[in-house]
């Protein structure tokens, strides 16, 4: 009986053991599969768990690596710590969604430890306990920062491609072209797949391209980020703007924008021709009117009542002002058209300064200003147009007198700078407001503390001075401090004395 009973018992237990074995095997397989899936997820995505107090309680290694935090710096901290201030509204919106028991999916910008922002696509699930009470959330994130950057670059490239301006992008290290837009390709005659085969050096025979190449190299040497200038390239006048775009890999690029200004130049030429014609037509009758009023004021027509003399005096002074305006306009027109004549001669700068002092003595007396010359003890040879230099000096000195206080001194100083002479005119006036300094050389510049009606002037003098100095190969500028005064200066090429075998007297030449 015992063997039979044992057999029956064994027969009954065997299926149960097999079932348990199969269950253990299946459970073990599922657990292994789940472990492998979680491992893959852990390697691919950033995973965090937040508790019911909105504190970070878990974060995988990838999350820490991407954000730059250590585990101790994040655990127990509010999850808002990894959201930039500008995006914390989004974090609160996600929290509200989760507390309603809803899953949230979307883009979440995260703030890294160094302050930078990474963009992630997130799936965030609410967590509940066995009683259905909300206990926090689990987040799974993938980094989409590079994808966003590529999309942005593509959108920018598409926009640049359709611009009417020529756009070049040139590598700073090799000066090879990285990109040109459609307008530039048509002008250069390049195919799309040929762009990266070309470099700036290939275009160096073109004066404009040579200027662009020199400007790029100068920006690198001087650590500048942008520059702009006007130049002719392919027989087309361009306004050229260059911006240096740095890179983390020390392979920065130049963004070069060439704006065709042919239409603007043609319009300016037409305006200049019109103004020139009108000015010429006005000057002759105005000179006659001014002369007639001068005769009347000198009693050539007999004595006039005092009231009539006063009115004629006002008219005569305004006629003088109109003649000055017309002469200035004609000078500007000649300079811009390249028709102003310059007669170069060997001169001594001391003589020109003395002449400017004499010419402005009356205006100095009128405003109670004394004139002082500094640095004129020794010879100052110069090859230049003396009449035009006197024109510049007279303008700067008369302006300094007008905008100084009675009793002040206007100083005219000459300084030897090696290859040039620097001539400066300093006043002790109210200075030029900072917000107006950028337009000081513009035509008819209207400054906040300037009054032409009381001080006189046409508003064209400084723009003419700039044009004359630049035409003579020099530079002009100024420094000004409100309440202290202003110093205008210009540099002209200096002359050197060299010996001649045929004569004991020195000859003058322009220093190279």
pLDDT by residue (tens digit) across 203-221?
878 878 888 998 899 888 8
Confidence of residue 159 (pLDDT cuts 50, 70, 90): low
Gyration radius (Cα) of the chain, Å: 41
Evaluate if pTM is beyond 0.75: no
- Residue 119, classified by CB atoms within 10 Å of its CB into exposed (0-12), middle (13-18) or buried (19+), is middle
| Cβ count near 251 (within 10 Å) | 12
Question: Which pLDDT score, from 0 to 100, does residue 184 have?
Answer: 87
Give the whole-angstrom CA distance, residue 124 versus residue 104. Answer: 5
Q: Which of 14-18, 418-422, 457-461 has the highest mean pLDDT?
A: 418-422
Q: Which of 116, 180, 177, 118 is nearest to 149 (CA)?
A: 118
Using alpha carbons only, give the angle 171, 173, 177 rounded to the nearest 5 degrees.
25
Average pLDDT of the segment spanning 28-53: 69
In this prediction, residues 39-67 reach a mean pLDDT of 85
* pLDDT at 37 exceeding the cut of 80: no
Q: Do the Cβ atoms of 169 and 156 come closer than 8 Å? A: no
What pLDDT sits at residue 413?
93
- pLDDT of 118 above 60: yes
Q: How far apart are CA 367 and CA 397, in angstroms?
A: 12
Cα 406 from Cα 116, distance rounded (Å) = 59
pLDDT of res. 309: 87
Please state the rounded mean pLDDT for residues 464-474.
Answer: 88
- Indicate whether 497 pLDDT > 80: no
| Identity of the highest mean pLDDT range in 40-49, 173-182, 280-289, 497-506 | 173-182
Of 409, 413, 437, which Cα lies nearest the Cα of 425?
413
Does 64 score more than 50 pLDDT?
yes
pLDDT (mean) for 326-353: 81
Closest CA to 511 of 383, 411, 400: 383
pLDDT band for position 258 (50/70/90)? very high
Residue 446 CB partners (closer than 8 Å, separation 6+): 459
Bridge partners (DSSP) of residue 291 are none
For residue 253, the cross-strand partners are 171, 245
**Whole-number average pLDDT of the chain:** 80
Residue 427 above 70 pLDDT?
yes
122 or 330: whose pLDDT is higher?
122
pLDDT at 36: 56
Cβ partners under 8 Å of residue 315, min gap 6: 293
Q: What is the pLDDT of residues 277-325, one digit of tens each?
A: 777 788 788 888 888 888 888 888 888 888 888 888 888 888 887 887 7
Q: Is 49 helix (H, G, I), strand (E, B) or coil?
A: strand
String of DSSP letters for 231-289: EEETTEEEEEEEEEE--TTS--EEEEEEEE-HHHHHHHHHHHHHHHHHHHHHHHHHHHH
pLDDT for residue 458 is more than 70: no
Q: What is the mean pLDDT of residues 256-266?
A: 88
In the predicted structure, residue 496 carries a pLDDT above the cut 50: no
Whether the per-residue pLDDT at 128 is higher than 50: the answer is yes
Tell me the mean pLDDT in the region 103-107.
88
The percent of residues above 90 in pLDDT, for the chain, comes to 15
pLDDT, tens digit (0-9, with 9 covering 90-100), for 341-383: 788 889 999 999 999 998 888 888 888 999 999 998 888 888 8
HSE toward the beta carbon, residue 246, CA cutoff 13 A:
7
Residue 505 pLDDT class (50, 70, 90 cuts): very low
Q: Check residue 254 and give its pLDDT.
A: 92
Q: How far apart are CA 69 and CA 88, in angstroms?
A: 19
Is the predicted pLDDT of residue 4 greater than 70, yes or no?
no
Determine the pLDDT at residue 98.
87
395-to-115, 197, 356, 401, 408 alpha-carbon distances in Å: 55, 54, 9, 10, 18
Residue 402 pLDDT more than 50?
yes
pLDDT > 70 fraction of the chain, expressed in percent and rounded: 81
Greater confidence (329 vs 336) lies with: 329
């Amino acid at each position: 009986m015992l063997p039979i009973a044992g057999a029956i018992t064994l027969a009954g237990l065997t299926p149960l053991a097999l079932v348990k074995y199969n269950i253990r095997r299946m459970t073990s397989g599922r657990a292994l599969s789940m472990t492998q899936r979680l491992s893959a997820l852990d390697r691919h995505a950033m995973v965090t768990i937040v508790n019911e107090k909105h504190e970070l309680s878990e974060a995988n290694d990838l999350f820490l690596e991407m954000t730059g935090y250590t585990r101790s710096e994040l655990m127990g901290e509010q999850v808002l710590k990894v959201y930039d201030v500008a995006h914390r509204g989004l974090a609160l919106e996600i929290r509200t969604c989760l507390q309603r028991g809803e899953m949230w999916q979307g883009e979440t910008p995260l703030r890294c430890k160094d302050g930078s922002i990474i963009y992630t696509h997130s799936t965030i699930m609410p967590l509940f306990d066995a009683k259905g009470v909300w206990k926090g959330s689990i987040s799974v994130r993938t980094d989409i920062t590079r994808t966003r950057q590529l999309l942005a670059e593509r959108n920018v490239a598409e926009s640049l491609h359709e611009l009417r301006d020529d756009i070049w992008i040139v590598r700073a290290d090799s000066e090879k072209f990285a990109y040109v837009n459609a307008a530039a390709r048509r002008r250069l005659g390049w195919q799309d797949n040929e762009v990266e085969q070309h470099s700036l050096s290939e275009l160096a025979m073109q004066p404009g391209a040579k200027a662009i190449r020199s400007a790029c190299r100068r920006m690198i040497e001087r650590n500048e980020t942008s520059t702009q200038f006007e130049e002719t390239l392919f027989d087309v006048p361009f306004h050229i703007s260059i911006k240096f775009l740095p890179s983390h890999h020390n392979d920065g690029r130049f963004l070069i924008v060439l704006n065709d200004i042919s239409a603007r130049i043609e319009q300016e030429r037409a305006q200049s021709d019109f103004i020139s014609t009108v000015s010429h037509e006005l000057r002759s009758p105005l000179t006659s009117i001014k002369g007639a009023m001068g005769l009347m004021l000198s009693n050539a027509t007999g004595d006039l009542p005092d009231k009539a003399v006063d009115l004629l005096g006002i008219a005569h002074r305004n006629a003088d002002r109109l003649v000055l305006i017309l002469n200035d306009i004609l000078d500007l027109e000649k300079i811009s058209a390249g028709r102003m004549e310059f007669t170069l001669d060997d001169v001594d700068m001391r003589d020109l300064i003395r002449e400017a002092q004499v010419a402005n003595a009356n205006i100095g007396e009128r405003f109670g200003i004394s004139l002082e010359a500094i640095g004129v003890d020794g010879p100052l040879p110069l090859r230049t147009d003396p009449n035009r230099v006197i024109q510049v000096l007279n303008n700067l000195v008369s302006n300094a007198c007008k905008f100084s206080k009675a009793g002040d001194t206007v100083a005219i100083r000459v300084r030897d700078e090696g290859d040039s002479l620097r001539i400066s005119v300093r006043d002790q006036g109210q200075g030029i407001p900072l917000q107006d300094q950028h337009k000081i050389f513009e035509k008819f510049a209207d400054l906040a503390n300037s009054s032409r009606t009381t001080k006189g002037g046409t508003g064209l003098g400084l723009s003419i001075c700039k044009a004359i100095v630049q035409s003579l190969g020099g530079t002009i500028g100024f420094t000004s401090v409100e309440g202290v005064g202003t110093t205008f200066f210009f540099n002209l090429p200096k002359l050197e004395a060299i010996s001649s075998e045929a004569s004991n007297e020195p000859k003058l030449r322009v220093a190279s």
